[in-house]
Structure 1
């Protein structure tokens, strides 16, 4: 067997081993014209992992997330999600920086529309809508219009909507960046709980070391453009049955936050 055949066989075995919701990124580079934004990057993300991409503005975090979503193919290299090339709308639920909800519909109506497009039978949508809104703490305001609720509540609706389809992957592009500190912490708490309950693979983009350590089971720090991996860190903090405030106050949390923060600064200056 040639070395090329052996490498292809190894990659195929890796894809199979990753399973449903697993992500395989091989020698991915992406360019906008003559500008290289990302790469080369090699990364395996197993099912159920909550991976946080962190780095300074302009390092290619959002670009890599959009490649994983299938919005564009990489200029070089390959990406597979659950063993196949990603495709918009079929690969993952996505939450953007802005909620992008339909203001003429109610909170529940926005989630029901997502369930309709996900192919959920009409008779099952009501119960599924209620369950998704319960997960994000909005089950008591399903009847309200989007313009009647706060920005934080709108992002909760966006998370519920992204979870409507039974995708095994959830992608989040700095969804809390525009929110005040208190609302941001509350939504971090909710997302951490929802992620633990759902067992879905998640990739979350942020520039905050604090947010990365709180949410992630694994953190990848990217260098300045073109974004490459500067740090790949496993987060071994307890994720179940722990009060969020106690977790944020723990010495282990502070140590990890410092390590990630220093890595981000170093990567931005390299």
Structure 2
């Protein structure tokens, strides 16, 4: 199995239905601070992500994973180079749905109220929101919870609400910054199962940040390992594992899964050395 892929160079094309959710990164670097105190967090790097891919960024702490995610989301602007999402420059709140390490829900709202607000900001008509809200909650495994208060549900359920809220806007791109890091192992594994299914069903492009080689192999259709700061691509690995019609426990127990997990784990350690 080849562990690297070259990045195809090309001319920027205007956004089209077939480019929705695509990411094009060219010679991007990002620095914090000025003068002698400046620190380069990431880059330079090139990266292409086609529509529908589930890309996982993995690496040691401080390698620039979250910085790169914020650049893609449009929360920050690259010091050098260019980023395009669906053929245009990223814009905060318009480029992608975002899920953070903490759910960041509105505690004074119910579960359904949090999703309704996301649908409102997405421009969904009031009379269409109840049906869409229930469908989104069903997709993340929260049927019949719309009436419950945020403090009445577990941390894992709160993160499911955050995912439903991110899906509400119908962005072609979903960005997730270590959303399961604070959860216990069992809850984390269950949410990995749910996210893998939701990602496959929605067909959206996703970029997921994690420290875990196991999580990267289970979720990703492609894995990019970043080197220590400044983060550059140390490994670009396609994941040739079935994404539908397979039991999650059987997949985790498969020899191919173990081999990929070992390859990614060794790459992370080598890149951080």
After TM superposition, is the score higher than 0.5?
yes
Question: Does structure 1 residue 122 correspond to structure 2 residue 126?
Answer: yes
Q: Which runs of 5+ in 2 are unaligned?
A: 1-8
Question: Does structure 1 residue 73 correspond to structure 2 residue 77?
Answer: yes
Residue of structure 1 in register with 2:4 after alignment: none
For residue 188 of structure 1, give the secondary structure of its aligned residue in structure 2.
helix
For residue 85 of structure 1, give the secondary structure of its aligned residue in structure 2.
coil
Kindly report structure 1 stretches of 4+ aligned residues shifted beyond 3 Å.
13-18
Distance 2:17 2:269 in 1: 35
CA contact (8 A) 1:29 1:76 kept: yes
1:217-232 equivalences under 5 Å are 217-232=221-236
1:104 maps to which of 108, 111, 124? 108
CA contact (8 A) 2:44 2:232 kept: yes
Distance 2:18 2:257 in 1: 29
If the length of structure 2 is used for normalisation, what is the TM-score?
0.94
Residue of structure 2 in register with 1:210 after alignment: 214
- Please give the root-mean-square deviation of Cα atoms over the aligned residues, in Å: 1.4
Distance 2:142 2:42 in 1: 37
For residue 257 of structure 2, give the secondary structure of its aligned residue in structure 1.
helix
1:123-142 equivalences under 5 Å are 123-142=127-146
1:154-233 equivalences under 5 Å are 154-233=158-237
For residue 51 of structure 2, give the secondary structure of its aligned residue in structure 1.
coil
Alpha carbons of structure 1 residues 15 and 225: separation in structure 2 relative to 1, 3 Å: farther
Q: Which runs of 5+ in 1 are unaligned?
A: 1-8
1:36-79 CA deviation, whole Å, 9 max, x = no partner? Answer: 00000100000000000000001000000000000011000000
Q: Deviation at 1:250? A: 0.2
Residue of structure 2 in register with 1:12 after alignment: 12
Distance 1:250 1:203 in 2: 24
Q: Deviation at 1:166? A: 1.2
Higher mean C-alpha deviation, range 137-146 or range 193-202: 137-146
CA contact (8 A) 1:51 1:218 kept: yes
Q: Deviation at 1:11? A: 2.4
Distance 2:79 2:165 in 1: 31
Alpha carbons of structure 1 residues 164 and 224: separation in structure 2 relative to 1, 3 Å: same
Residue of structure 2 in register with 1:240 after alignment: 244
Residue of structure 2 in register with 1:32 after alignment: 32
Distance 1:217 1:166 in 2: 21
1:132-191 CA deviation, whole Å, 9 max, x = no partner? Answer: 000001012111000110000000000000000010000000000000000000000000
CA contact (8 A) 2:13 2:87 kept: no
Residue of structure 1 in register with 2:94 after alignment: 90
1:204-226 CA deviation, whole Å, 9 max, x = no partner? Answer: 00000000000000000000000
